[in-house]
Amino acid sequence: MTGVGASPITLEGVILGIDTSLGSAVAVVEHDGAVRSQVESADARGHAEVIGSLIERALAEASVRPDSITHVAAGMGPGPFTGLRVGIAAARTFALGRGVPLVPVVSHDAVALELLLHDALTGELDEPGRRAFAVVTDARRREFAYTVYDGLDDDGLPRRRTEPGLAPRDELDALLDAGDVRRHDAARIPAGLLALTAARALAAGRSIGPADALYLRSPDVTLPAGPKKVRT
């Protein structure tokens, strides 16, 4: 966990969750997981245009003032360079401006926690001999990002069997089948579960996310080798 100070989760603790690894999602969540608000935009290319208004809406719908936020959970990917950095920058800026800790979270962990909590009620993942599952997101360019999980640990956090990886679209199923892993394709990252993951990590005194973004690949930008000649 990174940020200013070492504010513990308290009964008054409120976490702002921000993720732009797929669409854009923002949530305000109490320390015990009660979701005060959650707003989303499915646009995978308009992160910079909507993230500010989503934060404003999330705070307004939760009836929470910015100075009530005690922690900011940042989805660190995996995700594409351009979109992912918008959410991380917004989370870091908000945390710095408020002087509160930033809690980095692997974005796939939020999806895994949602599935595991749902499974606790329904048993849908309880297939004998095939307990492990992969959270899969579209990485474009005929590739998928994936992370394999095999349940909750003692702190109620998703237990990763593998760290996030990248696989060709045509090879992923064979890769997962070889490990007897079920596949779950995610079209969104639930910001509420991202914040809940952060809350559980804070309560356990653990750091579960990377300090740096999990970019799927390098940005499609190259620095010029030198000034171009101008003809007159």
Which residues make beta-bridge pairs with 27?
Answer: 17, 38
56 against 229, higher pLDDT = 56
What's the pTM? 0.86
Query: Which residues, 6+ apart, have CB-to-CB distance to 225 below 8 Å?
Result: none
| Domain boundaries along the sequence of the chain | 2-204
Q: Is residue 3 scored above 60 in pLDDT?
A: no
For 61-98, how does the pLDDT look when each residue is reduced to its tens digit (9 = 90+)?
999 999 999 999 999 999 998 889 999 999 999 999 99
Specify the residue for token string 């394999």.
148
How far apart, in whole angstroms, are the C-alpha atoms of residue 13 and residue 126? 34
The helix or strand, by DSSP H or E, that contains position 112, with its residue range, turns out to be: helix 107-122
For 136-180, how does the pLDDT look when each residue is reduced to its tens digit (9 = 90+)?
999 988 999 999 999 999 999 999 999 999 999 999 999 999 999
Residue 123 φ/ψ region, left for φ over 0, alpha for ψ in the -120 to 50 degree band, beta for the rest: left
Q: What are phi and psi of 17, to 5 degrees?
A: -105, 135
DSSP state of 66: G
What CATH number is given for 2-204 in this structure? Answer: 3.30.420.40
How far apart, in whole angstroms, are the C-alpha atoms of residue 81 and residue 56? 24
DSSP state of 130: -
The tokens for 133 are 């599952």
